[in-house]
Amino acid sequence: MKDAISYFIRKAADWLFRRRSPALMVFRAGVALLFISLAGSWAVSFMYADAERTLVLGYQSSSTAQFILYIGFVIGIAMTVLGAVWEYQRFRDEKKRNNKKKTVVIEQRGLVDTSDSPLSEYVKSKCSWHVDSIVNDVRERLIDNVITRPELALAKVSNLKVSLAEKTAHSSASDISISYGGVFPVPFTFYTGYLLDDESQITVYDWDRDSGSWRGLIGTDDGEQFFVEPSSIKCKSVVLAVSVSYPVDGQAIASAFNNLPVHYLSLPTLDRNNHWSKEKQDRLSGDFLEYCKKLLGQGTEHIHLILASQNSLAFRFGQAYDKRNLPSISVYQYERQQPMRYPWCINIPHAVEEKVEVVNRAR
């Protein structure tokens, strides 16, 4: 019983003071006017008496003031009733719309265990409609934070489109939105963005390692741009090394791709928290796309991508990559503790009939 009363009080306080809508503004103004009218119409009196004296203080407003207060009282009642009816109608219409809306949350779990803080629960706290979830978990393929069976993990990622189609089959496209987030190996994250590039209304989240929680891309754009170090050698196959959160391993790149020209894109400030602006990510992914187009214009037919970035930016780069017009691309996994520091990659061919596959270079 006590919990029910507490719940009622919290909901009443939320409805009266915290929720925001034009209808509630009218309702609250009416309640305030009622309170002022009633308070102003009271006759205030005070009496003190003892054996020797009696003290009486009193106040009674004039008839004109009483009439004004009466008018205010009537207007207050009208505004209160109007606001309450208007808010009920608005609430009912919003509930009808929300009953049709659905957000499908795609969460990819790999390098960090986020199962105690599911992205779907975070998204639910931000909206009032139905939230469904698709979880790609490849942690069983990890040993000491190193993925051991990338082929099996790729199969899980490749099935995303089918899973998403099943979740959205009975809903109108206008009622569906998608949220994405994860802590995943870069090649799989890039490929996920590549797979979902034609899906609209994707809201991207990332895992804040400092706070151990999910976070939206709501920071401000600091205006940083890529510093470009191009190669003067023209070749049909090139390496594109992009540094955002950490510097790429130039020595390992030279060892693994000793016969290929290397093009470097790097931000002036390499930091794990330099990516919290959606506007910045949109701009950087656009710059990445333009540089890939430039390589295409130089006769490049295949790009070997080395990407050191946060999960959300790797996803955005995958979304930006034009699968119809740009060269085929291989996205590499970096393992600092292994003799071959780029042991495998996901090869994404240009031709539609060719399959995306894992190429293991450590064997």
pLDDT score at 254: 92
Helix (H, G, I), strand (E, B) or coil at 200: coil
Strand partners, 227: 266
DSSP state of 117: S
Burial tier of 64 (Cβ tally within 10 Å: 0-12, 13-18, 19+): exposed
Strand segments, DSSP code E, in the chain are 44-49, 54-59, 102-109, 130-137, 142-143, 146-147, 176-183, 202-208, 213-216, 227-229, 237-243, 262-266, 302-308, 328-332, 344-348, 357-360
What is the per-residue pLDDT for 43? 45
pLDDT at position 13 is 61
> How does pLDDT run along the chain (363 residues), one tens digit per residue?
566 666 566 665 665 556 667 777 877 777 777 777 766 555 444 455 566 666 555 545 555 666 676 777 778 778 778 777 777 677 675 666 656 788 899 999 887 777 778 998 999 888 877 888 898 888 776 666 667 788 888 988 998 888 888 888 777 777 788 999 999 999 999 999 999 987 767 999 999 988 889 999 999 999 999 999 999 999 999 999 999 999 999 999 999 998 899 999 999 999 999 999 999 999 999 999 999 999 999 999 999 999 999 999 999 999 999 888 999 999 999 988 888 899 999 999 987 778 999 998 765
CA-nearest of 108, 111, 103 to 143 is: 111
Segment (H or E) for 311: helix 311-320
On whether the CB atoms of residues 159 and 188 are closer than 8 A, the answer is: no
**Whole-number pLDDT of residue 71:** 77
DSSP helix/strand/coil, 342: coil
Q: Cα separation of 242 and 312, whole Å?
A: 15
Confidence at residue 356, expressed as pLDDT on a 0 to 100 scale: 92
pLDDT of residue 197: 82
- Dist CA 60 CA 72 (whole Å): 18
CA angle 43, 48, 49 (to 5 degrees): 135
Q: Does pTM surpass 0.85? A: no
pLDDT of residue 144: 62
Its sign, for the CA torsion 238, 347, 189, 291, is positive
Residue 258's CB is within 10 A of a number of other CB atoms, namely 7
Distances in Å between the Cα of 174 and the Cα atoms of 101, 126, 144, 252, 258 are 8, 19, 43, 47, 50
DSSP string, 150-199: HHHHHHHHHTHHHHHHHHHTTS-GGGEEEEEEEE--HHHHHHHHHHTTT-
**What pLDDT does 323 receive?**
81
